Amino acid sequence: MAKTFIFGHQNPDTDAISSAIIMTDFEQSLGNKEAKAYRLGEVGPETQYALDYFKVDAPELLNEDLTDQEVILVDHNEFQQSAETIEKANIKHVVDHHRIANFETSAPLYYRAEPVGCTATILYKMYREEDVEIKPEIAGLMVSAIISDSLLFKSPTCTKEDKEACEALAIIADVDLEQYGLEMLKAGASTTDKSAEELLDMDAKSFNMGDYVTRIGQVNTVDIDEVFDRQDELEKAMLKASAEEKYDIFILLVTDIINSNSKVLVVGSEKDKVAKAFNVSLENDTAFLEGVVSRKKQVVPPVTDALTEEA
């Protein structure tokens, strides 16, 4: 049997890393012993907290050419968010909860996408459908991914299915959701020990929106002002990255995980359109976004609409 590479998106978050590990366990349980989890970036402190708590090793960093290799994508489908040689790979399966864009294959595949808050929720359903045992450490990673993507059920992306899955999995993993969830989220919320470049890159994705390449980064914190005290430094780094990578717009969403609000910093040629997307005015390139916590549901759709509408 050919080796199967399983990985999530670039700049991986807890769902991307966890889902790669979970999907690998699922594949191996069904007989694909050559399945192996990889990552497309460094492991963040929140994710490392979960891995350490459940005593699971981080996946290996993917450095191989994927030409003609068998791959499974989790927690993403857009090629610009994936591995460098993904267009030359043989994509066998996708499990995702995002929009479908910039994606095509030359052969049929299994594609499972559901409008839930987390890829791990879909994987939980797959385990149950195939009657595959969920080990405590795998349940723990599922719990961690759902908590991360739903901000402990506060995000508008969170569905009834996510919450019910997480509650069932917490029993298998033997964790208290509230206590464990807050500790895990706080582990990833410190920003003072990171450079501007690290903050911008730790959870960032690129999107093709009409004629524009838009970069959207998100930083979760317990103190928004702690991040914006470094606004000049962040703006310089955003402009530098935009020039080097040809981003038309760079948006940084700084999210208060306790109070469920965000403040946005925007650079680029179409700042006014981004402001219009949120029905706000930018002051010093920033705006407060009350109740906005989800990039997928509350940022990408309105910004896409604003950038693709005809003048």
Which pLDDT does position 193 carry in this prediction? 84
Rounded average pLDDT over 192-209 = 92
Residue 311 scores a pLDDT above 50: no
Are 28 and 161 members of one domain? yes
Residue 253 φ/ψ, nearest 5 degrees:
-105, 115
Query: Looking only at Cα atoms, what is the longest distance across the chain?
Result: 57
Q: Which residue has the higher pLDDT, 157 or 1?
A: 157
Q: How confident is the model at residue 148 (pLDDT cuts 50, 70, 90)?
A: very high
Residue 99 scores a pLDDT above 70: yes
Are 20 and 95 members of one domain? yes
Decide if 218 contacts 257 (C-beta within 8 A).
no
Nearest residue to 117 via CA among 147, 138, 79: 147
| Tokens (6 digits) for 266 | 């925007």
Print the domain residue range for 218. 196-308
What pTM value is reported for the model?
0.84
d(CA 123, CA 131): 12
Specify the 3-state DSSP secondary structure of 275: helix
CATH number at residue 27: 3.90.1640.10
Are 45 and 149 members of one domain? yes
Are 182 and 207 members of one domain? no
Q: What is the tens place of the pLDDT at every residue in 286-309?
A: 999 999 999 999 999 999 999 998
Percent of the chain with pLDDT over 70: 99
Cα–Cα distance list, 165 to 2, 116, 177 (Å): 32, 11, 12
Cα torsion 14, 35, 56, 146 to 10°: value is: 30
Are 176 and 49 members of one domain? yes
Decide if 144 contacts 9 (C-beta within 8 A).
no
Q: Answer positive or negative: Cα dihedral of 264, 269, 272, 273.
A: negative
Are 9 and 122 members of one domain? yes
d(CA 281, CA 279): 7
Residue 8 scores a pLDDT above 50: yes
d(CA 152, CA 207): 26
Are 207 and 182 members of one domain? no
**End position of a domain, from candidates 138, 160, 189:** 189
Feature table: binding site = 9, 13, 15, 75, 97, 149
CATH number at residue 271: 3.10.310.20
Residue 20 φ/ψ, nearest 5 degrees:
-65, -45
Strand order in the sheet with 4-7: 60-61, 35-39, 4-7, 70-74, 90-96, 110-113
Residue 139 scores a pLDDT above 60: yes
Which pLDDT does position 175 carry in this prediction? 98
**End position of a domain, from candidates 122, 155, 189:** 189
Q: What is the tens place of the pLDDT at every residue in 103-123?
A: 999 999 999 999 999 999 999
Q: What is the mean pLDDT of the chain?
A: 95
Are 27 and 48 members of one domain? yes
Which pLDDT does position 1 carry in this prediction? 64
Strand partners of residue 102: none
Feature table: binding site for Mn(2+) = 9, 13, 15, 75, 97, 149
Specify the 3-state DSSP secondary structure of 51: helix
Rounded average pLDDT over 29-53 = 97
Nearest residue to 228 via CA among 278, 285, 179, 173: 285
Are 154 and 202 members of one domain? no
Rounded average pLDDT over 172-191 = 94
Rounded average pLDDT over 149-162 = 95
Rounded average pLDDT over 74-79 = 97
Cα–Cα distance list, 285 to 69, 240, 251, 261 (Å): 44, 16, 10, 17
**Which residue reads 């995000």 in tokens?**
155
Q: How confident is the model at residue 202 (pLDDT cuts 50, 70, 90)?
A: confident
**End position of a domain, from candidates 133, 164, 189:** 189
**Which residue reads 């966890």 in tokens?**
18
Are 130 and 45 members of one domain? yes
Are 159 and 112 members of one domain? yes
Q: Could you tell me how many helices (H) and strands (E) the chain has, helices first? A: 11, 11
Q: Domain total for the chain?
A: 2
Are 251 and 158 members of one domain? no
